[in-house]
Structure 1
Amino acid sequence: MRSFFWAITIFSVAMRLTLVLFTDLGVDEAYYWTYLHPVSISYFDHPLMVAIWQWISSTIFQCETEWVLRWTFFMTGTVNVLLCYQVSSRITDPNSARWITIAYQASPYFSLLTGAMVLPDGPLIFFIWIFLYAFVLIYQTDQLKNSFFLIGLSLGLGFLSKYQMVFFTLGFFVYSLIYKRIWWTQCTFYLNALIIVASLVPVIIWNLDHEFVQWSFHSRRVNPVGHPLSMEFFGRELAGEVFYQNPILYGLILYAVLFHGAKSVVRRPLKIALLLFSIPLYITGLGFSLFNPTLPHWTGPAFIPLLLIGIPAVFKPHEKVAIGLITTSWILFISFFCLAITELNLGLFSNRLALKNPKYLGKGDITQDMFGWEQLHAKSKDFMKDALLICSSKWWSAQYDYYLSRQENIPFAALGSLSDVHQYGIPPPPALTLPGTKLVYITSSNHYVPYSQYANLESLHCADTLIIPIIRSKDTVRQHYLYIFQ
């Protein structure tokens, strides 16, 4: 069993390294790279920790290549595996702890998204594991003094990673009211609270300086008022959660919690605490999706406590079945990963999808987002020579910023309203109509936005146009349109 455990863990590290070293930045990753320029106390979409993670590795290695930006996320993702085993072994037996850790690594969300990619979820999951480790220590010793600093620090820094940490914070205080009222008589408990409140200061200051644009943006995303009930949004959220957590693992965890949770070897007070950390977040995420389009990784952190409850619960009555399902989930995960990497580079199946609509070449092919960007740079750098500005539409054009503007040292501007451009609108982009300015507007066939949509470009003279094909396995899978304006 130990050999199998270490083999799986080493293989998981190898998979994450493959993603870190050999793939282009995704749309979100390139956008979060912009948080480095400059580093701020908060940003339009999220607090500052995703920028700090990148700053650490880029400062150490003195560059901003893809693997460098992802390095800190990879390292903390590896530490998460060790913390998973440490926490699991303290609440159950060593054998169950190993299988919990194996199951944890079979989740695409925990292995790849938070353990190898530039996303705010990376530091969030890291601080959640530190919080759970400190919480279990406190639960076992019944003393706050040894781990109070870790509790407050992890909750505070987790909040500075992503706002989902508020559910773990509230769960901690509700648990203390139910089971540990004696904590409220201890000074260390209030020091905890003070650390957590102090973590809010950077976010509050930034929002005060920017008219609370961050909080108003997020509130609009989840506000149900004026939105009809949508089973389409709900179904999409549920399907995304199943995919992100691994379909077999998702089913196993929910079955175990619903039908065997009461029999779990995890002691009742600790079980209640884990449910307080997870169920409100899970239900809230699903509830939002009934009225608004949501993203499945919003509820991702809820599956850590559910995993810690569910696997031990189902292990005792159905050990062989549980082992078989966890092993099968790994087979599914490996198959998916190998297929994804193959498709990304060769497009054996996705090329057909990309070629289906010649007018919008590549539209609907998600593999396009992480392929062909260095190819675009090599083919376009001469065309952009002497340009004073590169611009494109909306925040998801950040890959043009990273792969073209950064490498050619040309300023970049995203066009559109603040809700379209997000952090690119803080501060507002430079003027496009300065006398003598030569600028390049770029768009692609799979996310085509004509420059005629922007009045400030329509008033300029389009001096030249270049169409750049992106080739994969001898097929042109998308095109980029570059327009020179004077």
Structure 2
Amino acid sequence: MPCYVDTLSMYKKQLFYLVLIAGIVRLLAAGMLELGNDEVYYYTYALHLQSNYFDHPPGVAWLIKLFTLNLRLPQEVFIRLGSVVFATVGTYISFALGKRIKNEQTGWYAALLYNASIYCGVIAGTFILPDSPQVLFWLAGLYYMVTAVQYATENKKIPPAIWLAIGILNGLCIMCKVHGVFLWGGFGLYVLFCNRRLLANPWLYVAALLTAVIISPIITWNIQNHFVTWNYHSNRVEVKQFALDADGFIQTILGQLFYNNPLNVVAIVIALVVLKKKVTLAKEVKQLLLLCGLPIIIITTLVSLFKSVLPHWSGPGFLTLLFVAAAWLDDKKAQEPVASGRTPWLIKSSLILIAVVMLGGIAFIRLLPGTIGSKEEAQYGEDDFTLDLYGWRQFGADFIPWYQQQVQAGAFKADTKIVCDKWFPAAHLDYYAARTLHIPVVGVGELNDLHHYVWLNEQRPTLQPNENALCIVPSNYPLQPDKIYENSFTGARLLHTFTQTRMGQTSRYFRVYLLTGFKGQESTPLNIQ
């Protein structure tokens, strides 16, 4: 039998220091790094709240709106603050869920593994993405589903409050990201294959109905907008021909390993193997965790055999299986001759790895001389992922006074708009340049390229016939304005080239063009073929 040291009181103190240190590190990272492509794009969500957006439900927009005090605090650290706060709460829920499925030490290990996960601690816990609020509601929903299963296993009546919590939290999870349906899916599979008696409980259907009511704005919005979200995401995952994509599959596997921390994944795999040989968790809890965690991982991986996917899609599945790993690590510790409160070496190594990744990543992005991308002048910096998180502040600081000088010199009018044909780099230009100048960035192009900018166009001053506009071309996203906009403008003329440096070496160029004589329509109608 294990002999735990100081039990819960010790873990509460350790938990406090864990969230304090992790929170400080995340806050520092949130303030030091510029917003990435996706993050500045989600910032545009918060400019005009909607019940759904082209790419995702509105959860991330609410989060940004809340923690920036209705955009009164638009700095990067406040835009990301919701992620950091939610990751702190997620740590506490991880502890509580681990404690519920086994004991306090399992909860402590779960909290450590949660913070060691690059997906939970960095992607969703530092950057601002739809995953940031989704992870919190996924964890909270899972907690109450485990609680319901435990009540049912003990032949106790499940309190209505637990069913209501499941319905609300699962609904909010889906309102952050549609992947949240896998949480209900896992619970449904458990009910169908492991405990059909729950089908006779009317509160199960009340919970499901409550979720349906909460997510109804997503459905209503899509009906009003020709199901653009459904069409967009179905095109991303629908396999139309079975031609194996070996490179995409390998990238997905490696991405899943990295995002979820390779050592965490090792712990999960060992725990799953051990589950077949011995009991480390109550049977019903084990079944629920597997049915909620494995499907999203399996489906993401299978789709990657034929289509390009993003490895972090399966993040909630790996998060769910971390509790299986935590239970195994607790069992392993209990088998030692003298049990102690010392952290297993696997978790220590995992925490060290994420610390190295965070500190090394920040240093690499900020201190890398020049660029790791193309050195050809026309596309200088292309394929350099670090430039998504670096140099936009510098460009804004250079462009804003130049714009004002050009207006004073009569080169163009004070309200001259910026146009872009894709959501990136449109969102970066929006946040780091146009926002300060109080000029709009207008999307001119196709719906599948512009995404939310089609809706932003409706909120902003429109381009008038024969109006001139500016086009800013970062060399790492090269294009030829005279060809790209030949159907929208009569001409394009280079006005200025900004040379951007990092650690004293050229990293990329920003070329500013004057587009003359707007011909008409800004973006395509709301229709995806």
TM-score range, shorter chain: over 0.9
**Alignment equivalent of 1:278, drawn from 287, 293, 296:** 293
Provide the C-alpha distance between the structure 1 equivalents of 2:275 and 2:105, rounded to a whole number of angstroms: 18
Is contact 1:16–1:74 with CA below 8 Å preserved after alignment? yes
Deviations 1:287-309 (CA, angstroms, capped at 9, x unpaired):
11011110011000001221111
- 1:402 is aligned to 431
The CA deviation at 1:387 is 4.2
Structure 1, unmatched stretches of 5+, are: none
Q: Which of the two has higher C-alpha Rg?
A: 2
Q: Is 1:469 the equivalent of 2:499?
A: yes
Question: 1:69-104 CA distances to partner (integer Å, 9 max, x unpaired)?
Answer: 212222111100000000001112222321221111
Which of 26, 36, 56 is equivalent to 1:26?
36
Residue equivalent to 1:444:
474
**Alignment partner of 1:149 is 2:164:** yes
Residue 380 of structure 1: which of 372, 391, 399 is its match? 399
Report the residue type matching 2:120 in the other structure. Answer: F
Question: Hey, what does 2:3 align to over in structure 1?
Answer: none
Of all paired residues, the percent bearing the same amino acid is 27
Structure-1 residue corresponding to 2:245: 230
1:336 corresponding residue in structure 2: 357
CA distance in 2, matches of 1:258, 1:86: 25
Contact 2:423–2:453, Cα closer than 8 Å, also in 1: yes
User: Which residues in structure 2 correspond to 1:22-421 (within 5 Å)?
Assistant: 22-59=32-69, 62-142=72-152, 143-226=158-241, 228-260=243-275, 262-317=277-332, 323-347=344-368, 351=370, 353-354=372-373, 356-385=375-404, 386-397=414-425, 398-421=427-450
Letter in 1 for 2:511: Y
Preserved CA contact (<8 Å) 1:315 1:322: no
How far, CA to CA, are the matches of 1:387 and 1:462 in structure 2? 18
Please state whether the residue corresponding to 1:24 is helix, strand or coil.
Answer: coil
What TM-score do you get using the length of structure 1 for normalisation? 0.93
Cα distance per residue 1:160-216 (max 9 Å; x no partner): 111111111011122223444343333322210110111231111111111111101
CA distance in 2, matches of 1:242, 1:225: 27
Conserved? CA contact 2:380–2:476, under 8 Å:
yes
Tell me how many residue pairs correspond in the alignment.
483
Is the CA contact (8 Å cut-off) linking 2:469 and 2:515 kept in structure 1? yes
For 1:425, the aligned partner's letter is V
Contact residue 494 and residue 511 of structure 2 kept, 8 A:
no
Distance 1:167 1:14 in 2: 32
Q: Supply the distance in 2 between the matched residues of 1:456 and 1:425 (Cα, whole angstroms).
A: 20
> Secondary structure of 1:164's partner?
helix
Q: CA separation in 1, counterparts of 2:494 and 2:267?
A: 58
Indicate if the aligned counterparts of 1:172 and 1:277 stay in contact, CA closer than 8 A. yes
Unaligned 5+ runs, structure 2: 1-9, 153-157, 337-341, 405-413, 517-529
Aligned-partner residue type, residue 350 of structure 2: S
2:525 — aligned with what? none
Range 9-18 or range 335-344, more displaced? 9-18
RMSD across aligned positions (CA): 2.3
CA contact (8 A) 1:261 1:309 kept: no
When residues 426 and 60 of structure 1 are mapped into structure 2, their CA distance, relative to the original with a 3 A threshold, is: closer
* 1:335 alignment partner AA: V
**Distance (Å, rounded) in 2 between the aligned partners of 1:6 and 1:37:** 35
Range that drifts further, 387-396 or 371-380: 387-396
Give me the whole-angstrom Cα distance separating, in 1, the residues matched to 2:87 and 2:192: 32
Give distance in 2, aligned partners of 1:384 and 1:229. 50
4 and 52 in structure 1: CA distance in 2 versus 1, 3 angstrom threshold: closer
Looking at structure 2, the residues matched to 209 and 262 of structure 1 have their Cα atoms a distance apart, in angstroms, of 53
Matches of 2:22 and 2:476 in 1, distance apart? 32
| Residue 431 of structure 1, CA deviation | 5.9
Deviates more, 1:460-469 or 1:126-135: 460-469
For 2:432 and 2:371, how far apart are their aligned partners in 1?
26
Q: Normalized against structure 2, the TM-score is what?
A: 0.86
Distance 1:177 1:392, change over 3 A: same
| Greater displacement, 62-71 / 289-298 | 62-71
Measured in 2, the distance between the counterparts of 1:264 and 1:425 equals 54
2:142/2:183 contact within 8 Å kept: no
Q: Whole-Å Cα distance in 1 between the matches of residues 440 and 392 of structure 2? A: 18
